[in-house]
Chains A and B, each alone.
Chain A
Amino acid sequence: MYQYDHYDQAIVDQRVAQFKDQTQRFLRGELSADEYQPLRLQNGLYIQRHAPMLRIAVPYGMISSDQLRAVAEITRKYDRGYAHISTRQNIQINWPELERVPDILADLSRVQMHAIQTSGNCIRNITTDQFAGVIDGEQLDPRPYCEILRQWSTLHPEFAFLPRKFKIAISSNTTDRAAILAHDVGIELKRASKGVVADIYVGGGLGRTPIIGSLLKANLPAEDLIGYLEAVIRVYNQFGRRDNKYKARIKILAKAMGIEAFGAKVDVQWALKKQSDLQITESEVERVSAYFSAPDYQNFDAELPSNLQSRLSENRLFARWFEKNTLTHRQPGYRIVNVALKSAGIAPGDITHTQLDALAQLADRFSFGELRTTHQQNIVLADVAQNQLYELWLALQMHELAAPVIGTLHDMICCPGGDFCSLANAKSIPIAQAIQARFDDLDYVYDLGPIELNISGCMNACGHHHIGHIGILGVDKKGREFYQVALGGRQGREASIGKILGPSFGAEDMPDVIAKILDVYVSQRLDEETFIHTYDRIGIDPFKEAVYATSH
Chain B
Amino acid sequence: MQHLTSTETHTDPYQFSVFTPSTTEPHAAAPGLRDWIDADIKPSRVTIAPGEDFAVLFDQLHKLQAIEIQFPVFTDGRGFSTARELRERGYTGTLQATGAFITDQIEYLSRCGFNAFEFQSASHAKVAQVRLAQAREVYQGDARQPLPLFRRRISQTRETL
Give residues in A with beta carbon < 8 Å to B: 5-7, 10-11, 14, 22, 31, 35, 38-39, 121, 148, 151-152, 154-162, 226, 234, 237-238, 242, 269, 272-273, 277-278, 280-281, 284, 287
Contact = CB atoms under 8 A, between A and B. Distances in A.
Given A151-B149, A281-B150, A287-B155, A159 B77 contact: yes
Interface stretch (B2-10, B14-22, B32-40, B140-148): B140-148
26 contacts: A5-B156, A6-B156, A7-B137, A35-B104, A38-B75, A121-B75, A151-B150, A152-B148, A156-B140, A157-B109, A158-B77, A159-B80, A161-B76, A161-B105, A226-B148, A234-B84, A234-B85, A238-B82, A242-B76, A272-B88, A273-B88, A277-B141, A277-B148, A278-B141, A280-B150, A284-B151
Determine which residue in A11, A156, A158, A278 has the highest number of CB atoms from chain B within 10 A of its CB, and name it.
A158
A161 B155 contact: no
Given A6-B156, A148-B150, A281-B151, A157 B102 contact: no
Given A14-B137, A148-B150, A155-B139, A161 B77 contact: yes
Contacts of A269: 85
B104 A39 contact: yes
Contacts of B156: 5-6
Interface string B56-81: 00000000000000000011111011
B121 to A, nearest CB: 13
A148 B106 CA distance: 26
B81 A234 contact: yes
B139 A152 contact: yes
Contact of A11 (B107, B137, B146): B137
Given A35-B102, A269-B85, A287-B155, A157 B140 contact: yes
Contacts of A159: 77, 80
B41 interface: no
A238 B80 CA distance: 9
Given A281-B150, A287-B155, A157 B76 contact: no
A234 B138 CA distance: 19
Given A157-B108, A237-B77, A242-B76, A7 B148 contact: no
A117 to B, nearest CB: 12
B153 interface: yes
B108 to A, nearest CB: 4
A216 to B, nearest CB: 18
B45 interface: no
B131 to A, nearest CB: 9
A148 B155 CA distance: 15
Contacts of B88: 272-273
A270 to B, nearest CB: 11
B151 A35 contact: no
Q: How large is the interface on B (under 10, 10 to 19, 20 to 34, 35 or more residues)?
A: 35 or more
Contacts of A162: 77
A35 B150 contact: no
Given A22-B104, A238-B78, A155 B85 contact: no
Contacts, number: 98
Nearest to A36: B104
A278 B139 CA distance: 11
Contacts of A234: 81, 84-85
Contacts of A148: 150
B89 interface: yes
B137 A5 contact: no
A160 B139 contact: no
Interface string B82-114: 101100110000000000001011011101100
A157 B105 CA distance: 9
A238 B84 CA distance: 12
Nearest to B150: A284
Nearest to B107: A157
A244 to B, nearest CB: 14
B136 interface: yes
A281 B150 CA distance: 8
A11 B138 contact: yes
B85 to A, nearest CB: 7
A155 B140 CA distance: 9
A390 to B, nearest CB: 41
Given A14-B137, A22-B104, A237 B150 contact: no
Contacts of B147: 277
A6 B108 CA distance: 22
Contacts of A277: 141, 146-148, 151
A272 B85 contact: yes
Contacts of B84: 157-158, 234
A298 to B, nearest CB: 28
A95 B25 CA distance: 49
A157 B80 CA distance: 8
Contacts of B153: 5, 7, 284, 287
Contacts of B150: 148, 151, 280-281, 284, 287
Given A6-B156, A238-B78, A14 B148 contact: no
Nearest to A273: B88
A437 B112 CA distance: 55
Interface in B120-146: 136-142, 146
Q: List the 6 closest pairs (A to B, CB-CB), nearest first.
A: A161-B77, A157-B111, A157-B108, A284-B150, A10-B137, A151-B139
A158 B80 CA distance: 5
A161 B112 CA distance: 13
Contacts of B142: 157
A237 B80 contact: yes
Nearest to A163: B77
Contacts of A154: 139
A276 to B, nearest CB: 8
A278 B78 contact: no
A180 to B, nearest CB: 24
